[in-house]
Structure 1
Amino acid sequence: MELEKKSSSQREIVINISKTPVSYPKHPENKIQNAYFGLIKIEQLIEMISDDIGGNKRVIKKGIFDDNIRYYLGANDKNNVNLGMKEQLEGCNYHLFGLLNNGITVICDEAKLNSEELTLVNYQIVNGCQTSNVIFELIDNLGDRKNIFIPVRFIATEDEETKNSIIKGTNSQTSLTQAQLMALSNFQKAIERYYSIKQESNRFSIYYERRTEQYRGDDIPKTKIINIPIQIKCVSALFFNLPHEVSGQYGKVEKSTSGLLFENEKHLSFLNVYYVSGLCWYKVERFVQNHEEGRKFRRARWHIMMLFKLRNCDVKDLDKLGFNKIPIDKKMNKASEQIEKILLKNDDFLHVEFIRILNFIKETLVSHYAKEPEELFNDRKLFERKETTTTLINANKELRKIKK
């Protein structure tokens, strides 16, 4: 299964630059071919980020913001920065827009300057997604605002380490989460591609949100979107039997597991583990949301995932807690394939299985803690305790012995 794909038709554009750009000094190790600081008009930016589809209509170019840490977050009351930017451009002091804006950063494979023309080959906007989209939202009402100049940096490099350093640096004016920084890695891009490939082979759609809000505006149910924090929780609960930790100590889990999960290139051979974890979360989450009995035990959903694996896989040694030095392996990948087949069965089958798991949880924990069900399950910390997890694992072991 091919995961690394180079665009067969590279994106190329010629920009007319009336203001002569300033050339950045050559990099001593040639990691940067060339770079320019300059000013371009808003109308030139619109040409860069969108395609003309006829009838005086334009659409955002597909993939133009793929290497941006965040996708467009909207210009509304929930995002005061973007709203302020929009109001500035619409207001009477719009001529100050370019002076008050941090500008745009463009990374490309090649940047060739010839007099007043700059040719960009295979370019991406890696900082300025918010600015670009605010401008694009106002495209029909810009008028002479299209002549406003905005600052821009053009950087030609094919060195991945340099690209990531530039992306992180130019986005550092606003706080970035660990997940947003992880989004830049080739491993995250591989997971995103794998989810996309699985959509075609399984004819079942769930989506990997590598970048914040990348599916904003698409008509996709939230339960079908697996972002990086959810992915960490899913793998930790399903394959490493840590549902108690992801229930209440996500910060601890992220710190201790994200490096192990996303930095070992050997794990690229086992991407099905990541996908199936997300698929299992979606199926359990939908059950929890749509069934009364499921809603009562929402806090147990990570334990439901773990028990679903333990009850439906014949792979040995899946009941150990925590991570090994090389956490994802062939054994887990085999288990993921078994789980996937079952999860893709009809929902009636899964509903029955999830109800059985809930009944098992209730009976096991009431017996273990020797408390009345109402008192026990009203305890908000119940499913955050390691004791709860080990009790359920051990009870499931005994049940399997009896069945044998």
Structure 2
Amino acid sequence: MSSKVERISEKIIMEDFQIVNGCQTSHILFKNRDKLDEGVTVPIKVIETEDTDIVDEVVKATNSQTAIEDSQMFAVKEYVKNVQQFFNAYGSQRDDSHRVYFERRSREYADEDIARLRTFDIHQLAKVFAAMFLDQPHLSTAYAGRIYDKHEDDLFNSNQAEIGYYTSALVYYKLMLIFNGGHLPSKFRKYKWQLLMVVKYKFGGKNTPEITNKEWMGKYCEKIIDKFSDDTSVVSMNVKEAIKVFNPMGNVSRSDLKTLGFTNRIKDEMGV
């Protein structure tokens, strides 16, 4: 599927293309690449469209024939469009430091002058949201695929407040800015997913709302956003307060970060 297709003689030139329902075929071809010769042919169907609704329908139709990646299936949910619209609307109401972007489709903003650090695809957005609002930083650290298995009903559902997804993306973006800028000790970078959960409890409060309570979630998230609205030096000071929770943890291995036990240790330390 491509936004622009041009046929020249026996060649087809495509721009901004994606393969839909071709993962298994690609895998088998690669696995047997030494056995292939010019006599091997693969049937393909090329669809040219810039209409994202048509793309959604094609994805749904092909999924009835074979399974596709979980995160791609979330992308066709109607609610996901609402999340993207919220990102654009909320960010435009604030200054540029609040702009983060959600790409429902691969490389959706590739032609725009937007730093990659500000953009989140649906897989990344699921990870930051799960780490912050589902208290699952251990899954975001290593077993991201299990997020979909364990929390399918908790991701991108129409009864949720869109601001939760925006907040988790904004905080992650700001965390990466201050780490990349050397404003925080690099040894704490390994806690980036756990920090999302810590920031939530530290600045939003230990009494957390149900993610389906849109009014309460709105007020709760605004408190967190306010702490990440100042310049880099102030945000860094706020995060330095948050990372103090890790000081009593002692020597923490990367394998520890992948466990529910370590997540619970953090919550116990914070009195949650």
TM-score normalised over the length of structure 2: 0.74
Structure 2 residue runs of 5 or longer lacking an equivalent are 9-14, 20-25, 27-41
Distance 1:124 1:249 in 2: 30
1:307 and 2:198 equivalent?
Answer: yes
1:291 is paired with a residue of what secondary structure? coil
Aligned partner of 1:240 among 120, 123, 134 = 134
The change in CA–CA distance for 1:294 and 1:171 in structure 2 (over 3 A counts) is farther
Distance 1:125 1:352 in 2: 44
- Equivalent residue runs for 1:1-400 within 5 Å: 72=17, 102-104=45-47, 126=54, 164=57, 166-169=58-61, 176-204=68-96, 205-263=99-157, 265-267=158-160, 270-291=161-182, 293-314=184-205, 316-317=207-208, 327-329=211-213, 330-361=215-246, 363-366=247-250, 376-377=251-252, 379-397=253-271
Deviations 1:165-186 (A, max 9, x none): x443358899842222221221
Deviations 1:23-61 (A, max 9, x none): xxxxxxxxxxxxxxxxx9969xxxxxxxxxxxxxxxx9x
Superposed CA RMSD:
3.4
The change in CA–CA distance for 1:176 and 1:290 in structure 2 (over 3 A counts) is farther
The change in CA–CA distance for 1:310 and 1:172 in structure 2 (over 3 A counts) is same
The change in CA–CA distance for 1:305 and 1:352 in structure 2 (over 3 A counts) is same
Matched AA of 1:276: T
Aligned length: 239
Distance 1:105 1:215 in 2: 19
Paired residues of 2:102 and 2:119 also in contact (CA < 8 A): yes
1:276 Cα shift? 0.7
Paired residues of 2:128 and 2:172 also in contact (CA < 8 A): yes
Structure 1 residue runs of 5 or longer lacking an equivalent are 1-39, 44-59, 61-70, 75-80, 82-98, 108-122, 128-162, 319-325, 367-375, 399-404
1:389 Cα shift? 1.8
1:316 Cα shift? 1.7
Distance 1:218 1:176 in 2: 28
Paired residues of 2:142 and 2:258 also in contact (CA < 8 A): yes
The change in CA–CA distance for 1:176 and 1:199 in structure 2 (over 3 A counts) is same
Paired residues of 2:183 and 2:236 also in contact (CA < 8 A): no
Paired residues of 2:163 and 2:217 also in contact (CA < 8 A): no
The change in CA–CA distance for 1:106 and 1:231 in structure 2 (over 3 A counts) is closer
Of 251-260 and 188-197, deviating more is: 251-260
**Which of the two has greater helix per residue?**
2
Paired residues of 2:227 and 2:238 also in contact (CA < 8 A): no
Distance 1:101 1:296 in 2: 49
The change in CA–CA distance for 1:317 and 1:168 in structure 2 (over 3 A counts) is closer
Matched AA of 2:154: L
1:279 Cα shift? 0.7
1:298 Cα shift? 2.2
Matched AA of 1:252: R
The change in CA–CA distance for 1:314 and 1:212 in structure 2 (over 3 A counts) is same
Distance 1:245 1:232 in 2: 11
The change in CA–CA distance for 1:382 and 1:299 in structure 2 (over 3 A counts) is same
- The percentage of aligned residue pairs carrying the same residue is 18
1:208 is paired with a residue of what secondary structure? strand
The change in CA–CA distance for 1:202 and 1:125 in structure 2 (over 3 A counts) is closer
2:159 is paired with a residue of what secondary structure? helix
Deviations 1:270-305 (A, max 9, x none): 111111111111111222222274432222011112
Paired residues of 2:229 and 2:235 also in contact (CA < 8 A): no
**Alignment partner, residue 32 of structure 2:** none
Paired residues of 2:178 and 2:184 also in contact (CA < 8 A): no
The change in CA–CA distance for 1:41 and 1:335 in structure 2 (over 3 A counts) is closer
Matched AA of 2:255: K
**Alignment partner, residue 159 of structure 1:** none
Paired residues of 2:75 and 2:104 also in contact (CA < 8 A): yes
The change in CA–CA distance for 1:395 and 1:227 in structure 2 (over 3 A counts) is same
